[in-house]
Amino acid sequence: MALHTYLPFVRWTKDYSRQTLMDDSLAAVIISLIMIPQSLAYALLAGLLPQLGLYACILPLFMPLWVVARLPLW
């Protein structure tokens, strides 16, 4: 089977430009600047270690790949 069957975003690479890469990189930096302190604060509010807040913010980064690929989560 073809790779794009399991990873549909592979097809997007042919239309991906340098400007789109720059825009996506800027968006990633902005989201990281918001998400990291927020996850630390929520962990502290819950009485947990701050590291657990960082671990909790890693999973949402991979969720779009699962949704787009339509793969089972477990």
Q: What is the pLDDT of residue 70?
A: 54
For residues 13, 25, 30, 7, the Cα torsion angle rounded to the nearest 10 degrees is 30
Q: Is this model's pTM higher than 0.85 or not?
A: no
Q: Is the pLDDT of residue 65 over 80?
A: no
Indicate the residue type of 57. Answer: C
Which band of pLDDT confidence, cut at 50, 70 and 90, is reported for residue 68?
Answer: low
The answer to whether 68 and 8 are in contact (CB under 8 A) is: yes
Residue 67 has pLDDT above 80, yes or no: no
Comparing C-alpha atoms, which of 40, 65, 67 is closest to residue 55? Answer: 40
**pLDDT, tens digit, for every residue of 4-60?**
777 777 777 777 788 887 888 888 888 888 888 999 999 999 999 999 988 888 776
